[in-house]
Amino acid sequence: MSATPTTKPVKKRKIKLDEHLLAYRGVWVFVESERGHVHPVSWELMGQGRRLADQLQVELCAVVMGAPGPELDTHCEASFHYGADRCYRVASPVLRDYRNEPYTQALTQLVNAHKPEILFLGATTLGRDLAGSVATTLKTGLTADCTELAIDPEDRCLLATRPTFGGSLLCTIATLNYRPQMATIRHRVMPMPEPQPERRGLIVDFEPGLVEESIVTKLLDFLPDALDDRQHLPYAEIVIAGGKGLGKAENFRLVWDLAGVLGAEVGATRAAIHAGWITPDRQVGQTGKTVRPALYIAAGISGAIQHRVGMEASDCIVAINSDANAPIFDFAHYALVGDCVSVLPALTKAFASHLGKPFKEAT
């Protein structure tokens, strides 16, 4: 493994791939599904996988796993609509609900049988759990929580970019003399491709030979999330986010006021969360949520990489900061240099007037 900061490129050392690894070809995407629903990150990954597969001139393959039935078949067909050329259908009653042990066994067997050079999974709770155990059993490298994917044209090596653990810089990681090259990518980091319903592909069935009696863990019951039907931050079209530049907890109400007028979701930086100004489920950034709204208004946010990786894909970023040299102005589309405590109420009043909504100015 080698890691180099993207801000200071270093020539990657060359490795001649072992002879037995030359047989590994193709880009795979694990299609994550639970209770009949495919997680959107799988289709986002399919779009990126299509781009990389075309660059490598190989097939893009989907991996669909679960209990036999029409739902599994529907997921296979949907994978073609989002760009897959081939779909490996791994059907077994043991795979009806996700458990690490049978899914790891099945995916490991499939990889060893068909030898992909690249394998992507979503950086979801399920995907992180599965990716780590599969990479361990395959004795290969895994780059987690990637924000960018590319191919080295000289040696076909996957270049996976992610923030460092401190969140202070980005690094690009290359898995050199190991296959498959594995990476997990967070939801909403990559754009969602447009489905093409006319696309068709080849379904290949794979029998993992799983036996329920040999699986230690058992699913006793399923308890649905009581809040599952509410709007989630990653899907919001407008996000108003606040940071420590707001000065104190009381000033965070200004963010809520603007969000209320615009019908927006509220986000925050890690620093604001740690200060206790807002609940952790509102955090945007490397250790929080990733968003891709049409409009992102950042109030009192400096623009550190930890936060940037969670929102820089927004269509339009409006930054409000009293520091004219704040890093967020380097990538924001619009910059408002000023005190958030003064600017936010003015914006809220202007939007309320334009939209014909009531607004009571704070005193």
Model confidence over 148-202: pLDDT tens digits?
A: 999 998 888 999 998 876 556 788 999 888 999 999 998 888 999 999 999 999 9
For the segment 295-315, what is each residue's pLDDT rounded down to a tens digit?
999 999 999 988 998 999 899
* pLDDT of amino acid 123: 94
- Residue 3 pLDDT exceeds 60: no
* pLDDT band with cut points at 50, 70 and 90 for residue 250: very high
Give the HSE-up count for residue 138: Cα atoms under 13 Å, Cβ half-sphere. 30
Type of residue found at 354: H
Check: CB of residue 201 under 8 Å from CB of residue 209: no
* Interatomic CA distance for residues 96 and 114, integer angstroms: 23
* pLDDT of amino acid 7: 44
For the segment 201-229, what is each residue's pLDDT rounded down to a tens digit?
999 999 999 999 999 999 888 887 665 54
Check: CB of residue 240 under 8 Å from CB of residue 297: yes
Strand ranges for the chain from DSSP E: 2-5, 27-31, 33-34, 37-38, 60-66, 86-91, 118-122, 142-146, 148-152, 157-163, 170-174, 181-185, 202-206, 238-242, 265-268, 295-299, 317-321, 334-337
* Interatomic CA distance for residues 10 and 215, integer angstroms: 46
* pLDDT of amino acid 1: 43
* pLDDT of amino acid 14: 67
β-pairing, 157-163 with 170-174?
antiparallel
For the segment 90-133, what is each residue's pLDDT rounded down to a tens digit?
999 999 999 999 999 999 999 999 999 999 999 999 999 999 99
Concatenated DSSP letters of 173-221: EE--S-SSEEEEE-TTTSPPPPP-TT---EEEEE-----GGG-------
Within 8 A by CB and 6+ apart from 330, the residues are: 303
- Residue 257 pLDDT exceeds 70: yes
For the segment 348-362, what is each residue's pLDDT rounded down to a tens digit?
999 999 888 776 665
- DSSP single-letter state for residue 74: H
